[in-house]
A = this chain, B = another copy of it.
């Protein structure tokens, strides 16, 4: 899911009870997509076999809270007779809250596909008129910017496609097809009866020969002869089939976009590679320049829509941050100080708290990375140096399996720092007005300029800090905070201080300042940062071992230090460490 989300799809689908899973699992996946993976989620709903209570619970879960003024629910006797009932119910109970997608059948609904061509044509037009009845173009301003990946894409079950909308439908997604002409004719036919909503083509890249055959047979999809012929000759060569699928998909998508479709809906079947390759071949996405709305990825949960600023401390642990702020009513937006600072929740969910020690397999991997023997602080230093070098790719303070891209240019200096005993966990270089489309530092879309103040956060021994502090104090552009696990704080900053360390200037907008450094959240973060020495690292070793002793001592005695160089135009943050250019 994370790999798909990185490419910035408009939304991702999840089928209801996919692959025989329970409703609970479906909802948990949907919730995780929205809140942790941070993707807009389209949950499929079936009309048949869907008791009203179950549906309503699901909608409530996805919405996150009870709809205002609709706390009491009036069930429809005996469930929903047809999709129209389902949609009417959703609109009645939830108003415009949910965007609703409708299934469209370019080749007519599978049930309507008959041998009698005359009768079939009749069915096709009946379906189109029925579609019109269920559609109203409400969001005149909605733009589909490029692509939509489908996940997990058990797409051709009849129930999944029975998601039909009453006069409140937002858009149509088509059944898969392999003749672009058929889809374009379908769009034309829809327009001819007055359907004006966006219609997204459903593209299923051919990934395996067997899968392709099963799908097209089940969905009664027309397959052009030249595709059948092409596949016949390579059907035993899996790689060749995959490659052909990408080539064919790219051709189809190019043709569709040239014909003016507003976006592409990719059926991925949980595998993103072919879909991404197609989008790359068309130049729609670039894995070296992924789109970023903010430097961090905001959850799509509507309660967090006001979220516009985060402390930098959790930048390598976004899921922990989201978890700890899940109960916030309001998010500081713009001026951090505007909202009274809500309390950070504690991390009692071990899934988040113990990434590297929650299973034997993970612990194994972590010990491989960090070593079986830590006889002294020097061995710990070496782990950090190895991480900087890219020789290992996990650290307790990073939820992701690699250093953030934008720290890459700091790597040589960070290695030096770690060798000197400054164990770095978060950093960013200064940026003085890079284009907002910059492949490393860009965010917020085209036309703007982005800025950063240089930042380094690290653990250091008490002796190391004593030596460093005079340097920090005498550097005019430096501000810092240093604290140990006992809470002894050294800083020149006021408690209420907020320093914007990432900001962007965009046409026709206020200045956006999505990342800040502030003492209040630092004092919350420090507990988490110190605890990770124990919960994620020391716990890997036996009680009473030398390893535990070494790690525990660092946790108990060392300082966590946060350093900002405020001079984003000329500054060199490494100077105070004796590593200036």
Binding site for B on A (CB under 8 A): 308, 333-338, 432-433, 447, 449, 451, 476-477, 479, 493, 497-500, 503, 505-511, 513, 516, 564, 566-569
Residue contact B505 to A509, C-beta cutoff 8 Å = no
Closest B residue by C-beta to A567 = B507
User: What are 9 contact pairs spanning A and B, CB under 8 A?
Assistant: A308-B335, A447-B476, A493-B508, A497-B509, A499-B507, A500-B510, A506-B566, A508-B566, A511-B511
CA A508 to CA B566, docked complex, whole Å:
7
Residues of B with C-beta under 8 A to A477 = 447, 507
Residue contact B505 to A503, C-beta cutoff 8 Å = yes
Residues of B with C-beta under 8 A to A447 = 476-477, 566
Residues of B with C-beta under 8 A to A567 = 507
Q: A447-B566, A566-B447 are in contact. Are A500 and B511 (CB under 8 A)?
A: yes
Residues of B with C-beta under 8 A to A506 = 566
Closest B residue by C-beta to A334 = B335
Residues of B with C-beta under 8 A to A508 = 479, 493, 497, 499, 564, 566
Q: A510-B500, A510-B516 are in contact. Are A505 and B338 (CB under 8 A)?
A: no
Residue contact A509 to B498, C-beta cutoff 8 Å = yes
CA A334 to CA B500, docked complex, whole Å:
12
Query: A335, A337, A432, A513: which has the most chain B beta carbons within 10 Å?
Result: A335
CA A553 to CA B541, docked complex, whole Å:
87
CA A337 to CA B568, docked complex, whole Å:
28
Instruction: Give the Cβ gap from A394 to chain B, nearest Cβ, in Å.
Output: 33
Instruction: Give the Cβ gap from A145 to chain B, nearest Cβ, in Å.
Output: 18
Residue contact A335 to B333, C-beta cutoff 8 Å = yes
Residues of B with C-beta under 8 A to A337 = 334, 510
CA A506 to CA B505, docked complex, whole Å:
15
CA A334 to CA B516, docked complex, whole Å:
14
Residues of B with C-beta under 8 A to A513 = 510-511
Residues of B with C-beta under 8 A to A499 = 507-510
Instruction: Give the Cβ gap from A456 to chain B, nearest Cβ, in Å.
Output: 16
Instruction: Give the Cβ gap from A251 to chain B, nearest Cβ, in Å.
Output: 32
CA A334 to CA B332, docked complex, whole Å:
11
Closest B residue by C-beta to A504 = B511
Residue contact B510 to A498, C-beta cutoff 8 Å = yes
Residues of B with C-beta under 8 A to A510 = 335-337, 498-500, 513, 516
Q: A334-B335, A335-B334, A449-B569 are in contact. Are A479 and B500 (CB under 8 A)?
A: no
Instruction: Give the Cβ gap from A511 to chain B, nearest Cβ, in Å.
Output: 5
Residues of B with C-beta under 8 A to A451 = 505
CA A335 to CA B306, docked complex, whole Å:
12
Residues of B with C-beta under 8 A to A505 = 451, 500, 503, 568
Instruction: Give the Cβ gap from A480 to chain B, nearest Cβ, in Å.
Output: 10
Instruction: Give the Cβ gap from A309 to chain B, nearest Cβ, in Å.
Output: 9
Extra 17 A-B pairs, beta carbons < 8 Å, given A334-B338, A433-B433: A333-B335, A334-B334, A334-B335, A334-B337, A335-B338, A433-B569, A447-B477, A451-B505, A477-B507, A479-B508, A499-B510, A500-B505, A500-B509, A500-B510, A503-B511, A506-B566, A507-B566
CA A335 to CA B510, docked complex, whole Å:
7
Closest B residue by C-beta to A564 = B508
Instruction: Give the Cβ gap from A501 to chain B, nearest Cβ, in Å.
Output: 10
Residues of B with C-beta under 8 A to A564 = 508
Instruction: Give the Cβ gap from A310 to chain B, nearest Cβ, in Å.
Output: 13
A-B pairs, 7 with minimum CB distance: A334-B335, A507-B566, A334-B334, A479-B508, A500-B510, A499-B508, A511-B511
Residues of B with C-beta under 8 A to A308 = 335
CA A545 to CA B211, docked complex, whole Å:
88
Contact for A335 among B335, B432, B516, B568, CB less than 8 A:
B335
CA A409 to CA B451, docked complex, whole Å:
27
CA A433 to CA B568, docked complex, whole Å:
11
CA A503 to CA B333, docked complex, whole Å:
17
CA A470 to CA B479, docked complex, whole Å:
49
CA A433 to CA B567, docked complex, whole Å:
12
CA A509 to CA B506, docked complex, whole Å:
20
Residues of B with C-beta under 8 A to A503 = 505, 511
Instruction: Give the Cβ gap from A291 to chain B, nearest Cβ, in Å.
Output: 20
CA A568 to CA B336, docked complex, whole Å:
26
Instruction: Give the Cβ gap from A565 to chain B, nearest Cβ, in Å.
Output: 9
Residues of B with C-beta under 8 A to A509 = 497-500
Residues of B with C-beta under 8 A to A333 = 335, 338
CA A256 to CA B493, docked complex, whole Å:
31
Query: A308, A432, A511: which has the most chain B beta carbons within 10 Å?
Result: A511
Instruction: Give the Cβ gap from A477 to chain B, nearest Cβ, in Å.
Output: 6
CA A568 to CA B447, docked complex, whole Å:
11
